[in-house]
């Protein structure tokens, strides 16, 4: 833990700008909870239908953690003599697993009603409860999407904007499908991205410093 904290201090990504961005996202989440969440959920529930809904449903599957957990494990077993790629896969695997664990714990603690429970006039937090109807906060798909695509943005900085855009789109599909509120994906995105940034320092940067390993540009 001490070494991780040291690496966080050394990271060029973990700085005042990042914390300011997270603070802005958190404030937006609070504002959205009070003013926008319900309206957005009801709007998309009423208007996203047909082919558009099918396209969004296909896109949202890219936020399922199982694909990345199983996929990275399989690739780690078959890839040989490519240390940077293997380290990158370990980063993605660890980021998805760690951020997912944190998110699932928070889901139980907050037990927030999902958007579709608005039809039963239920909104807000039920606190310390289980079940699909009350595990909206934070969004697991948004956590996974941002953990994966922030990790890829760090590993392949040439394509960082593309990866970040993909992650954001995947996260927002949860709002469009009325499966999560906007504030759910904002907090999920904070968790997923921050875990990836921290683990990048530990798994990639620290390893490179020790091994003098080459990194693609």
3-state secondary structure of 125: strand
* 135 vs 15, higher pLDDT: 135
Closest CA to 32 of 214, 196, 175: 175
3-state secondary structure of 15: coil
Q: What is the mean pLDDT of residues 93-106?
A: 97
Domains defined along the chain, listed by start:
2-211 (1.20.144)
Residue-level pLDDT at 4: 64
Backbone angles phi, psi at 116, to 5 degrees: -70, -10
Residue 121 has pLDDT above 60, yes or no: yes
Instruction: Compute the mean pLDDT over every residue in the chain, rounded to the nearest whole number.
Output: 92
What is the value of pTM for the model shown? 0.92
Residue 142 has pLDDT above 90, yes or no: yes
- Cα–Cα distance between 164 and 9 in angstroms, integer? 23
Q: pLDDT band at residue 205, thresholds of 50, 70 and 90?
A: confident
Q: pLDDT band at residue 169, thresholds of 50, 70 and 90?
A: very high
Which H helix or E strand runs over 64?
A: none
Residue 217 has pLDDT above 60, yes or no: no
- Cα–Cα distance between 87 and 158 in angstroms, integer? 18
Residue 118 has pLDDT above 90, yes or no: yes
Residue-level pLDDT at 214: 55
> Which tens digits make up the pLDDT trace of 23-74?
999 999 999 999 999 999 999 999 998 999 999 999 999 999 999 999 999 9
- Cα–Cα distance between 70 and 6 in angstroms, integer? 31
Residue 2 has pLDDT above 80, yes or no: no
Residue 1 has pLDDT above 70, yes or no: no
Residue 210 has pLDDT above 80, yes or no: no
């Amino acid at each position: 833990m001490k070494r991780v904290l040291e690496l966080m201090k050394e990271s060029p990504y973990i700085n005042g700008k990042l914390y300011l961005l997270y603070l802005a996202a958190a404030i937006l989440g609070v504002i959205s909870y009070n003013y926008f969440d319900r309206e957005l959920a009801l709007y998309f529930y009423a208007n996203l239908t047909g082919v558009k809904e099918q396209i969004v449903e296909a896109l949202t599957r890219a936020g399922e953690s199982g694909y990345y957990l199983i996929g990275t494990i399989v690739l780690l077993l078959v890839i040989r003599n490519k240390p940077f790629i293997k380290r990158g896969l370990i980063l993605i695997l660890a980021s998805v697993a760690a951020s997912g664990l944190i998110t699932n714990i928070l889901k139980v603690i907050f037990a927030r009603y999902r958007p579709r429970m608005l039809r039963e006039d239920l909104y807000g937090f039920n606190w310390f409860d289980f079940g699909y109807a009350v595990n909206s906060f934070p969004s697991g798909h948004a956590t996974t999407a941002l953990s994966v695509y922030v990790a890829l943005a760090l590993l392949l900085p040439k394509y960082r904007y593309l990866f970040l855009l993909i992650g954001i789109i995947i996260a927002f599909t949860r709002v469009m499908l009325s499966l999560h509120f906007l504030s759910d994906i904002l907090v999920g995105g904070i968790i997923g991205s921050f875990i990836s940034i921290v683990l990048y320092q530990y798994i990639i940067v620290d390893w490179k410093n020790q091994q003098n390993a080459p990194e693609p540009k």
